[in-house]
Amino acid sequence: MKTLSLIFLLTGAAHAAKEVPAQPQPKSGTPMPAPAQQSMINLSLVEALVATKHEQLAGVFGFVSESNAAPAFADLLFRDQKSLKLFLKKGEADLKNAGAISVWDKEVCLYLVTIQSNASLVGTATIPAKLFDRVTTLSLAPGVPLSVLKMGKK
């Protein structure tokens, strides 16, 4: 009798599991929620955040896709000259020590050049000429992966 009751309970549980109501399907054209992003960030970005004394932004950049991190960081530097100077100092030290800068840093510099060239079109402030010369110098420097940069100190 106990065995029969146990079989009945297990069979009922199996039928109940099969009869789970279907999840409502979104209508066509309804945007699906974005998948949760990982909060991993590029080591070059971490290094740049430390150099510019913005370590607290690492969590924020965890929500920025890697493909958008360099333009977002360039925009931050464009709006904060103190941070831009610190970033340039780090890049110039890398260039002096290793003869190159990281590919990611070079990408940030190239975005800064692009932002600067379009700043007058949208009426925003621009980077002072002396700082912009330093940015363009770094944007023309050879770019190497961060691992190569760290191994290749002169």
Q: Is the pTM of this model over 0.75?
A: no
d(C-alpha 30, C-alpha 96), whole Å: 53
Separation of alpha carbons 45 and 104, rounded Å: 8
User: Residue 77: what pLDDT?
Assistant: 95
Distance in angstroms (rounded) separating the CA atoms of residues 18 and 4:
21
pLDDT for 5 equals 47
Mind listing the pLDDT tens digit for each residue in 18-67?
554 555 555 666 565 555 555 678 899 999 999 999 999 999 999 999 99
135: tokens are 């940015």
Higher local confidence (pLDDT), 119 or 91: 91
Q: How close are the terminal C-alpha atoms of the chain, in Å?
A: 84
Take residue 7 and report the two structure tokens written for it: 């079989």
Nearest CA-CA partner of 83 in 52, 125, 46: 52
In sequence order, the 6+-apart residues with CB closer than 8 A to the CB of 70 are 45, 104, 107, 108, 111
By residue count, the chain amounts to 154
- pLDDT exceeds cutoff 50 at 126: yes
Q: Tell me the domain boundaries of the chain.
A: 38-151
Query: Quick one: 9 exposed, middle or buried, by C-beta within 10 A (0-12, 13-18, 19+)?
Result: exposed
